[in-house]
A and B are shown apart, each in its own frame.
Chain A
Amino acid sequence: MSDRVFQKLHILADAAKYDVSCSSSGSNRSNKNKGLGNADQGGICHSYTEDGRCVSLLKILLTNHCIYDCAYCVSRKSNDIQRAAFTVQEVVDLTINFYRRNYIEGLFLSSGIFKNADYTMERLVSIAKKLRQEHKFNGYIHLKTIPGASEELVHQAGLYADRLSVNLEIPTEEGLKLLAPDKSRAEMILPMKYLKNEIVRFKEERQIIKSTPTFAPAGQSTQMIIGASGESDKHIIQTAQHFYTKFQLKRVYYSGYVPISHDKRLPEIGSQVPMVRENRLYQSDWLMRFYGFKAEEIVNDMYPLLDLDIDPKLSWALRNQQLFPIDINRADYNLIVRIPGIGVQSAKKIIMARRFGPLRIENLQKLGVAINRAKYFIICLGFQQLYADKSGANIKQYILAQSSSKYVKNNSEQLSLF
């Protein structure tokens, strides 16, 4: 018996690993009546894989049997691989026992589509329900929403799960048609729309009636595969912005395509995973979520592709030299946070510290500003701008020359945000 679970776990964790979403944040489900577990608002990574990704949840497929044939997916029906399926009880046992040993924050359950959408969704929901009701489990649960599942089931999923997600996978509609002929964008968007409305409705009700149950308190997320269908960065970033604003998604994940098959429609096996590009997309995503940038400022018809050699914030600043230099001691937070070399944390510190007196370069350095980068864009006490008449291209050369080591590292796949 235990050997079989061992085998299944191997197959069904391996098949789920291409979903890069790992977050366990955004929910603050508390531990009621001395049950088991709670959700940490900020999320916790309990381990890191050898490729450096966070391991936070037990991320598995319920089964890798699938009636569909999406070209980019290892579980597609035409792929000759070992198939397996967990029982409801097996998933519950694994979750509880891993959780009690503090291995995980909770469960991320996805599945291939077997029989039909409802049949699959029903099983996912029954696992979440069992965990919540029979085991008084308050840890994090992320369920995949199966496109085409009935609203009633999606509704139930929202009652038990912290987060729900539908993966768009392919950023453009034409790409999706080509690679996943059984799927339609419209079918994916339907549950997203339904969930968005329900999340808003429950939140409003909760403000009036405190006892209203939570409904997907950590919201919805999605994932797009990068580099499988010839899409541009502009496509990806604008799609992301569209979903952030129209569907109020909590997160969009970007997953550099890992070649898994000899399909003429897709990059060859052995071709490089576009990890630098993926990193630049995450940086752009941060700019939209935390720095007040619009998609059009990062990529547009004139600049449809992200620079690979510099980060998108620096790239934006170099294209908008007329806005600089910015006076550290007077400018608004919104402007300060846009200066290359200054992150959200140091921008906040600047705003607080300058109330005690004007800041000099030394002060900025000590509170974490990357002066090497910022010095081209600022003025502060005792520091005038020397580079104001230089072109963006010139400054880019200076910065690359100075910090070559950092960018070389970046190109060799170091993932860091600013």
Chain B
Amino acid sequence: MLKTLIYDGTWAGLLTTIFCSFEYKWQIATIQHRDEPVQSGLFVTTETILTDELKTKRVLLGLEKKIGLQGIKELYYVFLSECKHRELLILRSTHYYFKSNPKANLNYAHDDILKIKKTVRSVSRERHRMTAFVRFQKMKDGLYFANIEPDFNVLPLIANFFKDRFADQKWLIYDLKRKYGIYYDLQDITEVKFSHTLDRNTIHIHLDDDELHYSYLWKNYFDSVNIKERKNTKLHVQSLPKRYWKYLNEKNLF
């Protein structure tokens, strides 16, 4: 009998789901986030999965033997891509990995694996862009604050980058699309949620006295290094896609 599995939308939840699919040899039609409306078909039964740490660990251990930490990281990136049917893709490839020899994730001639590599590339690119394009504004209380709207859910992937880099300042990066942020208090990183998002005006009131000064200086710098004899708008927009401009003060003074 085909099954629709419902999970809590977390990575651990998905790994538990995968564990169950092996354990009970289920035929799976879809895997759904519990917030999505359930699509029940005539010949489909639904099953709700309870996230379980032990089962999660066992899947990870098994995967590590087959495809190493690098391979697991790829699957995690696919998970964060939020792309449609990513759960099934991850499930299918996990089954493929378990029945193949180790390092089957390097089989570039396999369609699912190519799909994974492609998705990983997109998510990595977005992760890298966020390490580059986050623009902090300094607040009166010393907090460095930035809003972002990344294409994928990359906050979990950039947290350590910013923690290592800005170890001596408090900072907060807020994902407006997914309505949560990460906050570093000089010790640890915690996830935070605002009851209402901070708009430009509210932020403005709280800016540090020097903030506008440095923001203008940066814009001034950006304009000064341009070589107009070499103007190449196509390349400019390709490297710095317009959807990011909103949060770059050199393109768009806050």
Interface residues of A (CB under 8 A from B): 2, 5-6, 9-10, 13-14, 16-18, 30-31, 34-38, 40, 44-55, 58-59, 94, 97-98, 100-103, 136, 256, 258-259, 273, 275, 349-350, 352-353, 355-357, 359, 363, 366-367, 413-415
Q: Which chain A residues border B240 with CB–CB below 8 Å?
A: 47-48
- A100 near B225: Cβ-Cβ < 8 Å: no
Binds A, one of B81-89, B197-205, B215-223: B215-223
- B114 near A102: Cβ-Cβ < 8 Å: no
- B236 near A103: Cβ-Cβ < 8 Å: no
- Is B149 in the interface zone, CB < 8 Å from A? no
Chain A residue with the shortest CB-CB distance to B250: A47
- A102 near B164: Cβ-Cβ < 8 Å: no
Chain A residue with the shortest CB-CB distance to B232: A52
Give the contacts of B177-215 with A (CB-CB under 8 A).
Answer: 186, 210, 213-215
- Is B42 in the interface zone, CB < 8 Å from A? no
- A52 near B224: Cβ-Cβ < 8 Å: no
CB proximity of B150 to chain A, nearest CB, Å: 15
- A17 near B217: Cβ-Cβ < 8 Å: no
Q: Which chain A residues border B220 with CB–CB below 8 Å?
A: 6, 9-10
Q: Which chain A residues border B218 with CB–CB below 8 Å?
A: 98, 101, 103
- Is B45 in the interface zone, CB < 8 Å from A? no
A366-B109 in contact given A38-B164, A58-B221 (Cβ < 8 Å): yes
Return 7 A-B CB contacts under 8 Å, by A number: A36-B167, A49-B236, A52-B236, A53-B227, A101-B136, A350-B108, A356-B110
- A55 near B135: Cβ-Cβ < 8 Å: no
CA distance A14 to B228 in the complex (A): 11
Q: Which chain B residues border A45 with CB–CB below 8 Å?
A: 132, 239
Instruction: Identify 5 new A-B residue pairs, CB closer than 8 A, beyond the known A103-B250, A414-B232.
Output: A40-B131, A47-B133, A100-B136, A352-B106, A414-B235
- Is B98 in the interface zone, CB < 8 Å from A? no
Q: Which chain A residues border B228 with CB–CB below 8 Å?
A: 50-51
Chain A residue with the shortest CB-CB distance to B238: A52
- B239 near A13: Cβ-Cβ < 8 Å: no
CB proximity of B125 to chain A, nearest CB, Å: 12
CA distance A412 to B106 in the complex (A): 38
CB proximity of B167 to chain A, nearest CB, Å: 4
Chain A residue with the shortest CB-CB distance to B133: A46
Contact of B164 among A6, A31, A44 (CB under 8 A): A31
CA distance A378 to B235 in the complex (A): 32
CA distance A14 to B165 in the complex (A): 29
Contact of A38 among B110, B165, B234 (CB under 8 A): B165
